[in-house]
Amino acid sequence: MEQKADNNFGYSDTVMDHFSNPRNVLKVAEEEYEASGVGMVGNPTCGDMMKIWIKVDKGEKISDLKWKTFGCASAIGSTSMMSEMVTENGGMKVDEALKLKPQDIMDRLGGLPSIKIHCSVLGDKALRAAIHDYYKKTGREDLIDEKKAVLVCECLNVTDKEIEEEVLEGVSDFETLQERTKISTGCGKCKEHATELFEGYRAKYFG
C-alpha cells in the first residue's frame, strides 16, 4: 500500500493521479453514446451524483465504461480506478463486475481517508444500476437481485436495507449506526440480530 502524503489531504498518490487525470470520463453527448446499460445514483442538487454507461459485448464482457459525476476527489478517483478494473484485459464478465466490492477498489487506490469512504461507493452503486438496466433491456429481470426490505427493529421501524445503506455510506461501528438510525435503542431485543446483519454487510463490502 502506498504511503499517503500530507500535502494530498490524506489521499494516496494513486488517488491523486486518478483525480487529476480521470480515466474513461464520458466526453461526448450522452445521446451519442450507445450504451447497453445506464445507471445513476444520487442527486446533483444535493452535491453527489454519479452516472455510468456500459457497453457489453456478445461474450457478456463489459468492453467499455464511461462515467460522469458531481463529486469529490474520492468519488472521482475511485470511479476512475473502477472503470479501469472493469474494462482491463478485455473487460470483466457482467456477473463478475457485480461481485466487485468497494474494498477491492480502495485496495487498488492505496486506501482512502475513513471520512471519505462513503463517497467512494457512488461508482459501485451506479455500476450495479447500469448492469441492472442492461438486464432489464435484455429481458433478464430475473437476474436482478433486489430483495424486499425486512423489518429488523420494530420499535424504531429500521429495516435491513437501511443497515446496508448505512454501511455503504461508511458507517464502521454499531454505535454510529445507532446514532444515525436509532436501531436497538427501544426495547433492545433486536440488537443481537442487528449487530450480526451490520457485521455481515461490513464483511460483504469491506471485508
Active centre residues (catalytic): 46, 119
Contacting residues for 93 by C-beta, under 8 A, at least 6 apart:
59, 60, 61, 62
What is the DSSP secondary structure assignment for residue 46, as one 8-state letter?
G
Contacts of 122 (CB under 8 A, 6+ apart): 41, 42, 48, 49, 50, 69, 71, 75, 78, 79
With beta carbons less than 8 A apart as the criterion, state whether 68 and 2 touch. Answer: no
- Mode of pairing for the β-strands spanning 158-159 and 151-153: antiparallel
